[in-house]
Amino acid sequence: MSKNSSRQAGRHFLQIPGPTPVPDRVLRAMDTPVIDHRGPEFAKLARRALDGIKTIFKTANPVIIYTATGTGAWEGALVNTLSAGDRVLMVETGQFASLWKKMAEKLGLKPEFIETDWRVGADPKLIEAKLREDKAKEIKAVCVLQNETSTGCWSDIAAVRKAIDAAGHPALLMVDTISSLASTDYRHDEWGVDVAIGGAQKGLMLPPGMSFNAISDKALAANKTSNLPKSFFAWDEMLAMNKVGFFPYTPGTQMLHGLVEGIDMLHEEGLDNVFARHDRLAEATRRAVKHWGLDIICRDPKAYSSTITAILMPDGHDGDAFRARALEHFNISYGASFGRFAGKMFRIGHLGDTNDGTIIGALAITEMTLGLAGVPHKKGGVQAAMDYMASVHGGGARQAAE
């Protein structure tokens, strides 16, 4: 920001991997009088939201809508299906996986980690091996993130399901889709996921404060015997009230207006087009980073995330100082660094209501800041990103990430 100025011109570049920029259409849909949450008008709104969200998870079963952030839906998934002392298998893909594991411990579960160096997705083979070792079938759930937001590593959920089946293991499959839902493909029923956790403020383009549990019949059956304490997050009362178009308590009415609008927008664009757009913006970002000569945290091209790219800083350069510098000069926010990469990286979010021009702007800001901060790099990364985007728009062959 220039000196002696209390105003920043233009829009802030919100390049964090959630919350994402809220489209004007969603803001306008939310800018409406509050209605009686026990009245007939509300029931219509609730039905549209409850039906609409099923099309995003691709499920025929009910989806729970919580007035809580994604962390609340993590808790909902665990407390509704599991019992005190249950073993759960989790994969340490990064910071968010670690936080979910901590929650499981606090709730009285016994989580076990498959450890990684935070630079890959979940390995279905290692999951299968762990399940095969569990002859007594004591592991009650396998918990993975479809997209690890702290590192930009994606996991193949269909392959994880196959691994569980190959081991002949009855564990539930729980998937955190918070930073991938409505940005990359997700198929709840087809992939046989038991509980999916979603959040509003990433691909769904809403402000923070709403989250979801998509559930399978098997998860509903597990709910009947689960003994972990549950109250606010209990599925049974929610499902009973949702059936008649209401909630057990006052839900975030304005958020429901926004959700309905966001879902309409996704379908107007077409989900497959939304996914292709995210793939394109992500690949363009990686082309720039590779041209600069910097390393991407994710070291497995098959696991590259389409919603966030984490960039390793060269030795002697602090990622958080870099972020502060870019914010000061160019009014941009990048994702912070975490855990074993604290200070060593910054993250570019390229998800939600964003497009080629915005990402090119963000990459140009990044290249300028690399220069200002004296970070060694080769100029021209933005050009590499532009060349790639133009080739895709021109009908050029889509090049695989590899």
Ligand X SMILES: *Cc1c(COP(=O)(O)O)cnc(C)c1O
Question: What residues line the site for ligand X (CB under 6 A)?
Answer: 18, 69-71, 96, 145, 149, 176, 178-179, 199, 208
Query: Taking a C-beta distance cutoff of 8 angstroms, is the pair 351, 278 a contact?
Result: yes
Task: Give dist(CA 50, CA 18) in Å, integer.
Answer: 23
Dump the DSSP string for 175-241: EE-TTTBTTB---TTTTT-SEEEEESSSTT-PPSS-EEEEE-HHHHHHHHH--S--STT-HHHHHHH
Helix or strand (DSSP H, E) at 349: strand 345-349
- Cβ of residue 388: shortest distance to ligand X, in angstroms? 26
Give whichever of 145 and 326 is closer to ligand X, judged by the CB atom: 145
Q: Residue 305 in contact with residue 147, Cβ under 8 Å? A: yes
Closest approach, Cβ 117 to ligand X, in A, equals 18
Rounded CA separation 279/36 (Å): 41
Report the residue number whose CB is nearest to ligand X.
70
Q: List the Cα angle 229/236/227 in 5-degree steps.
A: 25
Q: For residues 13 and 74, which CB has a smaller minimum distance to ligand X in the complex?
A: 74
- Sign (positive/negative) of CA torsion 20, 384, 378, 297? positive
Nearest-approach distance from CB 88 to ligand X, in angstroms: 16
Q: Least distance to ligand X from the beta carbon of 96, Å?
A: 4
Would you say 92 or 387 has its CB closer to ligand X?
A: 92
Whichever of 42 and 66 has its CB closer to ligand X, that residue is 66
CB of 68 to ligand X, least distance (A): 8
Taking the least distance from each CB to ligand X, the nearer of 179 and 309 is 179
Q: How far apart are CA 326 and CA 348, in angstroms?
A: 12
Tokens 């050029």 map to which residue?
A: 396
> Least distance to ligand X from the beta carbon of 29, Å?
21
Q: Of the two residues 22 and 392, which places its CB atom closer to ligand X in the complex? A: 22
d(CA 210, CA 348): 23
Q: What is the DSSP letter of 22?
A: P
**Is the CB of 103 or the CB of 327 nearer to ligand X?**
103
Shortest Cβ 69–ligand X spacing (Å): 3
